[in-house]
Amino acid sequence: MLRRLLITSVFAVSAILAGLPALAHGDLGIDVVVVSGSLDGRMIDFVIDTIEDSEAEVVVLQIDSAATLNGNFDELLDLITDPPTPVAIYAGPAPARVSGGALRLLAAAPIAGAAPGVVLGPAVPTRAGDSDDSDAIRATHPDLPEQLISGSALVVGDFDGFLDLVEPSIGQFVVGLHDRQVIIDGAKVRLETAIAVIGDGVVHLRPSGEVTFIEPGLIDATLRLGIGPEAAFFFLMMGFSLVAFEFYAVGPGAAAAIGVASLLLGGYGISVLPVRWWAVALIPIGLLLYTIDFQRNDLGWKSLLGTGALMSAGLFFTDAAPQIVQTWWIVLIIVLGTALWFGFALTSIVRSRFSTQTIGRDHLVGRIGAADTAIAPEGTVVVDGAKWQARSTRASGIEAGDRVEVVAVEGVVLEVDPA
C-alpha cells in the first residue's frame, strides 16, 4: 500500500511539474558559472563567452563579488537583461557579498536569487573607484531599493526585496528554478530543471540534468590572484625583494624566476585596480631604503623611514572604498615580514653565499684578489677563492681579470682599488 502511494505521488508530482505548455528546452543540463572575487575584464569576457556559447537548459551565475574593476561591463549588463538563453543569478553561498556592478547584474537578471546571510549593496559606484552614478542606476533599475543603491548594505533574510528565490545552496536554487518562465527572443520559455524521485520513502526533487560548474582557465585564475589590494601589494613587495636578493647573490636562479612571476602578478593587479600611484611608488622607495641599510650592515633611520613608507603604501594602496578596503593587519604582516627578510634572512643568506669557513670580513682588508667582472663602479671580485660584491670608483678602470686590493668592507660589499 505504501509503495503504491509513493509511486502515485511521484507520478502526480511529475505531472504537476510538467503541466505548463510553454516552450521548454528539455533535458539539456545546467551550467553554473562560478564568479568569485572582483569582476575584472578577463572575468567579464569569460562570462559573456560562456553565456553566448552555452547550450544548457539554463545558465546560472553563482556570484560572490564586491567590486567591478574594468572591462565590458555594459555589454555584460545588456546580455543579462536580454539573454540569448535562459539566465539566472544566484548570490552565494553565505557569507558572500554582492555590491557595485555585481549587484546591478543581480537586479537585471530574469531570475534573481540569493542565500540567507548574503550581504547586498551598495550598488554605487558601478565600477570601484569611479564617481557617483546613482542617477544612472535608478534609471536602469527602478525596482532596486534606494538603500541598496547608495545606502548601507542589507542582509538577505532581513531583506528579500526584488529577489525571486532565497535558497541556502546552489542545488536548491537550481531545483527552485523549475517551472519558472523567462522571455527569450520574445517567446516564453518554461524551465525544466527538476524531477521527482523516491528516496528513503520520501519524494524528493533533484536537478533534471547534469549540473556543470564552469570556472575560468588556469591563466585567468592565476592572473586573478593579484587583483586583491593586499595580494597585489604582497606580490610587488615579494618581487622587488627577490630582485634585490638576486642582485647580491650574483647570478639568476630560482629566486629570480619567482621574483619575475610575483612582479607579473602584482603588475596585473595594479593594471586593473583603482590604485593610488604615489602609494605604488612608495614600494620601491621603501625597499631601496632597506637595501641601503642592508648593504652597510646597519639598520638605522633609513630602515625606519622605509618601514613607514611601506606601511603607507599598503594602507593607501587603493582608492575604492567602500567596495575595496585594505585590511590593516594583513598589510602589517607583509611589511614586518619584509623587514625581517632584509634585517636577518637576506643578511644570513648572502653571507653564507659569499664567504667560506676560513674567511671573515675583518681579515679581508689588504687582501689581493681578481676582478670577476668589470668594476664600474660595482661588480664582483674573487678573494681567496670566494666571490664578493665589490665597489670602486668609475675612474679606477678595473676590468675583468685585473688584480684588486681590498681597502674597506661595508656590510657584505668590498671596497677595492687596483692592486
Q: Can you give the pLDDT at residue 385?
A: 82
Give the largest CA-CA distance in the chain: 107
Question: Where exactly are the structural domains of the chain?
Answer: 2-215, 219-354, 361-418
Q: Which stretches of the chain drop beneath a pLDDT of 50?
A: 1-26, 356-359
Res 152: pLDDT: 80
Reported as a single tens digit per residue, the pLDDT across 324-380 is: 988 999 999 999 999 888 877 776 666 665 554 444 566 788 889 999 998 888 889
pLDDT value of position 307: 93
Could you tell me whether strands 194-199 and 165-166 are parallel, antiparallel, or unpaired per DSSP bridges?
A: unpaired
Q: What is the pLDDT of residue 113?
A: 96
Q: What is the CATH number of domain 2-215?
A: 3.90.226.10
Top CATH class of 361-418 equals mainly beta
What pTM was estimated for this model as a whole?
0.77
